[in-house]
Amino acid sequence: MTLSDTLMLAMRLEEDPAYSKEHSLEQSRELERFLGGVERRAFRIASIAVRNDDDALDIVQDAMLQLARRYSDRPAAEWRPLFYRILQNRIRDFQRRAKVRAKVIGWFSIGPAERDEQADPYEAVPDPAASAVDRLSTDESMSKLEAALSLLPGRQQEAFMLRNFEGLNVAQTAMAMGCSEGSVKTHYSRAVRTLREQLGYD
């Protein structure tokens, strides 16, 4: 059973009145087909972004559930950009929480003599992000492209993956990212330039 199958089964088992009243059998089948078609690419995007398959699965499942619950009554043509906007929001939320946890843990590891009791622990601790070399060496099985993608700034990473992995056009990508089309073009061109340098094409 695929992730999308499991999700749709869970939705039915919940016996959500709103779901059962508002969705015809054909709508349900169309939503299942959509989710089945995007789940593998969505998982790859989340996996590259958070570098952990279990966390990526949770993020994708949550994004699917939110789309099914909140936007399944929207025209099917709108699902793709809506889904990827939800997915990117979930990825950013996860990364934000992870950064806060790492900073707070880092603050507690500082010796009492070094700790400024008046300082904000979040602001006082250096960013714990691993170096590029460390991140590349932690997962040697990742392709060069995926490794290079993981080093891009978040918005550049989003623009590149949505345009190339999912095939969204500029307008759809802008909707998914919650920004202007001009910003999408800027993030995308910077991502391509950086990737070409990282992969030795320049």
Task: Read off the pLDDT of residues 20-39 as tens digits, 9 standing for 90 and up.
Answer: 555 577 788 899 999 999 99
Q: pLDDT class for 3, splitting at 50, 70, 90? A: low
Residue 62 lies in a domain: no
Strand (E) or helix (H) holding 58: helix 53-70
Number of domains in the chain: 1
* pTM for the structure as a whole: 0.59
The first and second tokens of residue 130, run together, are 């691993």
Whether the predicted pLDDT of 17 surpasses 60: no
Whether the predicted pLDDT of 138 surpasses 60: no
To the nearest 10°, report the CA torsion of 65, 71, 77, 81.
-70
Say what percent of the chain tops pLDDT 70.
Answer: 66
Residue 22 lies in a domain: no
Whether the predicted pLDDT of 142 surpasses 60: no
Residue 23 lies in a domain: no
CATH code of the domain containing 165: 1.10.10.10
Cβ partners under 8 Å of residue 116, min gap 6: 124
Residue 161 lies in a domain: yes
Direct distance between the N- and C-terminal alpha carbons of the chain, in angstroms, rounded to an integer: 44
Rg (CA), the chain: 20
To the nearest 10°, report the CA torsion of 126, 128, 134, 135.
-130
Which residue would you say has higher pLDDT here, 180 or 116?
Answer: 180
pLDDT tens, residue by residue, 71-90:
888 999 899 999 999 999 99
